[in-house]
Amino acid sequence: MIVHQHKSLQGEMHRDHPLASYTSFQAGGSAEIFYRPMDMNDLRTFLEMLPENSQLTWLGLGSNTLVREGGIKGAVICTRKTLGKISVQGNQVYAEAGVSCAKLAKVLARYGLSGGEFFAGIPGTVGGALAMNAGAFGSETWDFVEEIEVIHRDGKITAAGREAFDVGYRNVMIPEDQWFCAARFVFHTESSESARSNIRNLLYKRNTSQPIGLPSFGSVFKNPEGEHAAKIIERCGLKGYRVGGAYVSDKHANFIINSGTATAEDAVKLIEYIQGVVKEQTGYFLEPEVRIIGDAP
């Protein structure tokens, strides 16, 4: 794929750029082309210049992403530390795709807006949360979406209401040549102290039940209807099970931890092993929540 750092581009571009440090699991391959746009206009320029047949992958905080060791062909657009515009008008909040969910939660608390406290427990960006309908503690991202901005493959941006998208559990249907670049949310009005208290309580609950601070993907599998993936995995005796440098957390069985030496392929093999054991012992097929991208080595 031929892409040059044209003088009209203002962002950060690299070739054959390692991506391990851009994922929370801290392992994986490289991007053929890595681009971090300066802002939304720069992103539009990059997309306009990108060859029409080139592959395009988006990466936020990499908290729900496994990049295989063979790397990613085409261009990877990284929204970490960019596309961070956020504004508040009454009980409505506009946020671009690169805003971290943690920052969104802090802004909501500052303005005395409630309902979105759960964002404090999601270690990703608004773009990623929109793409997978991320949720925690009984709430989901799209519960609060009023309007969406979508960027097309040619750099054009269009807006649509929530009703334009088929939204489900950890899944949102959107055409392959379109991506969420911003959203307008509507929340409830509450006191700032009450909102901050809610966040503290949710974070305490998360920190006491999950292996926070260790390199992981977050939740590896989606919960089957009426069940919890973690409890199913634990019942199968898989806590602590290891493949190479990757192992099932002893604290929360739906987390896979990188002990410091894990490769992406260790994680892939462990995911497949868990699926096989669970299917054999319980009949459940655990569908991955983690996004597995890139080529096998």
Catalytic residue list contains 219: yes
Asked if residues 245 and 266 have their Cβ atoms less than 8 Å apart, the reply is: yes
Q: Residue 199 pairs with which residues in a beta bridge?
A: none
Compute the distance between CA of residue 26 and CA of residue 66 in angstroms, rounded to an integer.
Answer: 9
Token pair of 274 as six digits: 């868990």
| Catalytic residue list contains 44 | no
Q: Where are the beta strands (DSSP E) in the chain?
A: 12-18, 30-36, 56-59, 65-67, 72-78, 86-89, 92-96, 113-114, 135-136, 139-140, 145-152, 157-161, 166-168, 171-173, 178-186, 188-189, 242-243, 246-248, 256-258, 291-293
Give the burial class of 292: count Cβ atoms within 10 A of its Cβ; 0-12 exposed, 13-18 middle, 19 or more buried: middle
Residue labelled with tokens 């990049």: 67
Amino acid at position 293, single letter: I
Catalytic residue among 30, 114, 219, 249: 219
Kindly state the DSSP code that residue 114 receives in the 8-state scheme.
E
Mark whether 96 is an active-site residue.
no
User: Which of 44, 68, 170, 196 is the catalytic position?
Assistant: 170
Residues carrying an active site annotation: 170, 219, 289
